[in-house]
């Protein structure tokens, strides 16, 4: 008996520890963002693009190094062929081999290679900022989904309280019906209202599940893995910049300095300009240095006495080296070079248009976000007043209903107004937080709760 009691106590402690560990395994916003940055497929795609740009830059730099190549050939022939020693044609079987080393170096091409390197360098830097943008956008999307989940959790709590109130009123009404103080229709009306409130609660609970699935998608987290968001103790304590300090022009000015896409667009223009200059360099002559070393061996190479020369002697006798300068003068190639120059010039204009469009959209988004933040604040203030008024109306209606001075339909209507006002306040509060966090994101390229 004693052993059984001890075993029971140990099991209770064990399950208590497990429950505590599970309860503590919550996901804060920072944990979500860190996990997403490590596992997001979108970010990994941009990492691949950055690596490709880095490899292109590396290859263009290596093009400055002289090229070296070597080749070796071997062959067999049978029939009449001249002997290498006396140049007499005889029937013979000949095995021959040769080897060569070649070198080629560009001496001057009007800075084509240097400008190509510069273009690829700017392009690689632009891809670095695009990677930063992908990470920042992901962090903001995770924060948005996290806030939506918190809103849905708060909505569940409001619905639970509404169900509790309706259930409590139903229980009181049942007692009054039994006592004969109110008609049975009052009970039926409250039972129908409880069913509706329970349906609303199920919908709210499902919204929590859907928002968590959205977060898991951003995190690339297995859908079967448990996920419990860390809910702040007091949503009102979240740090928010004062709206009066977030004028759209100030936010836009800061965004032009911090926004990675703005920096990437400027670098893309520089890259296009250098590519255009590199294309123009191909109109002019280029100078290169070339060199070659080769040798030969065959089994029909005889000396003047008719003796087959050794491999060493043949290699020495046929050894040849050369070096020379090559001046390449472009004359006509179907206007291909000039067409490429024209395309490169148009590409500069295209990149400038892309920059202007991105800046225009950024400014429009910031002004829209600011207008939405102002409206969200006004809506939150109005909804806060609405909750206080609805609460007073509900408290007064409860007293009248309990005294039999108000019918059930009117009482349910008053309760529904309170519930709707509470939901509107919670929604407006989170909407205002989201709109302010969006402005902060544009200004600082950071997101935090």
The encoded tokens of residue 394 equal 């509900």
- Give the confidence band of 272 by pLDDT, cuts at 50, 70, 90: very high
Residue 279 has pLDDT above 90, yes or no: yes
- Is pLDDT at 88 greater than 50 in this prediction? yes
Whether the pTM exceeds 0.75: the reply is yes
Looking up residue 259, the CATH number of its domain turns out to be 1.20.1600.10
pLDDT for the residue 370? 93
User: How far apart are the C-alpha atoms of 80 and 94, rounded to whole Å?
Assistant: 10
SS3 126: helix
Report whether pLDDT(36) > 50: yes
Instruction: Please tell me the distance from the alpha carbon of residue 358 to that of residue 165, in angstroms, as a whole number.
Output: 52
324 domain residue, yes or no: no
pLDDT band at 10 (very low <50, low <70, confident <90, very high): very low
pLDDT of 449 reads: 65
The verdict on residue 195 lying in a domain is yes
Does residue 94 form part of some domain? no
User: pLDDT for 120-153, tens place per residue?
Assistant: 999 999 999 999 999 999 998 998 898 889 889 9
Kindly state whether residue 308 falls inside one of the protein's structural domains: no
pLDDT digits (tens, 9 = 90+) for 108-118: 888 999 999 99
**3-class DSSP assignment, residue 325:** strand
Q: Does residue 33 fall inside a structural domain?
A: yes
Give residue 15's pLDDT. 37
The domain total for the chain is: 1
Query: Is residue 412 predicted with pLDDT exceeding 60?
Result: yes
**Sequential DSSP letters for 14-79:** HHHHHHHHHHH--B-HHHHHHHHHHH-HHHHHHHHHHHHHHHHHHHHHHTTSPEEEEEEEEEEEEE
- Residue 289 is predicted with a pLDDT of 93
Q: How confident is the model at residue 85 (pLDDT cuts 50, 70, 90)?
A: low
pLDDT at 184: 86
Render 141-209 in DSSP notation, one character per residue: HHHHHHHHHHHHHHHHHHHHHHHHHHHHHHHHHHHHHHHTSS-HHHHHHHHHHHHHHHHHHHHHHHHHH
Lowest mean pLDDT segment, chosen from 72-76, 301-305, 415-419: 301-305
Percent of the chain whose predicted confidence (pLDDT) is above 70: 92
CA distance 312 to 310: 5
Could you read off the pLDDT of 185-223 as tens digits, one per residue? 888 888 998 999 899 999 999 999 999 999 999 999 998
pLDDT in tens, 281-298: 999 999 999 999 999 888
At 45, the pLDDT band (50, 70, 90 cuts) reads very high
Residue 171 lies in a domain: yes
Question: Residues 106, 288: contact at Cβ < 8 Å?
Answer: yes
Is residue 19 in some structural domain? Answer: no
User: Is 323 domain-assigned?
Assistant: no
Domain membership of residue 388 as a residue range: 24-61+109-282+332-444
Average pLDDT, the chain: 86
Residue 18 above 50 pLDDT? no
Q: What is the pLDDT of residue 311?
A: 87
């Amino acid at each position: 008996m004693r052993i059984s009691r001890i075993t029971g106590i140990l099991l209770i402690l064990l399950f208590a520890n497990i429950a505590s560990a599970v309860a503590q395994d919550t996901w804060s916003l920072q944990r979500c963002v860190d996990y997403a940055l490590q596992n997001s497929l979108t970010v990994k795609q941009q990492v691949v693009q950055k690596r490709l740009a880095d490899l292109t830059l590396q290859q263009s730099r290596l093009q400055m190094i002289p090229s070296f190549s070597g080749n070796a050939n071997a062959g067999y022939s049978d029939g009449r062929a001249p002997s290498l020693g006396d140049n007499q044609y005889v029937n013979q079987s000949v095995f021959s081999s040769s080897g060569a080393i070649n070198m080629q170096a560009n001496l001057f091409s009007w800075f084509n290679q240097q400008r190509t390197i510069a273009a690829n360098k700017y392009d690689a830097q632009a891809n670095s900022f695009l990677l930063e943008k992908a990470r920042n956008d992901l962090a903001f999307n995770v924060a948005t989904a996290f806030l939506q989940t918190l809103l849905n959790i708060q909505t569940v709590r409001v619905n639970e309280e509404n169900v509790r109130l309706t259930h409590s009123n139903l229980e009181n009404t049942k007692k009054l019906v039994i006592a004969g103080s109110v008609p049975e229709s009052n009970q039926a009306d409250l039972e129908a209202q409880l069913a509706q409130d329970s349906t609303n609660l199920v919908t709210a609970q499902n919204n929590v599940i859907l928002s968590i699935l959205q977060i898991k998608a951003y995190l690339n987290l297995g859908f079967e893995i448990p996920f419990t968001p860390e809910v702040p103790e007091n949503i009102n304590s979240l740090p928010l910049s004062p709206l009066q300090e977030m004028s759209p022009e100030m936010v836009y000015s800061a965004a032009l300095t911090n926004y990675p896409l703005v920096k990437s667009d400027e670098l893309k223009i520089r890259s296009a300009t250098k590519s255009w200059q590199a294309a123009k360099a191909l109109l002019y002559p280029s100078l290169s240095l070339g060199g070659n070393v080769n040798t030969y061996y065959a089994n029909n190479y005889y000396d003047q006495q008719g003796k087959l020369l050794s491999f060493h002697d043949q290699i020495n006798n046929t050894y040849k080296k050369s070096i020379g300068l090559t001046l390449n003068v472009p004359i006509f190639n179907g206007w291909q070079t000039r067409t490429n120059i024209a395309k490169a010039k148009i590409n500069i204009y295209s990149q400038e248009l892309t920059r202007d469009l991105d800046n225009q959209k950024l400014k429009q988004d910031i002004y829209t976000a600011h207008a939405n933040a102002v409206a969200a604040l006004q809506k939150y203030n109005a909804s806060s007043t609405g909750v206080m008024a609805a609460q007073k109306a509900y408290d007064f209606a409860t007293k009248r209903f309990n005294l039999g001075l108000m019918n059930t339909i009117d009482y349910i209507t008053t309760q529904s107004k309170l519930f709707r006002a509470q939901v509107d306040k919670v929604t407006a509060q989170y909407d205002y937080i989201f709109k302010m966090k969006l402005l902060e994101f544009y200004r600082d390229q950071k997101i935090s709760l």
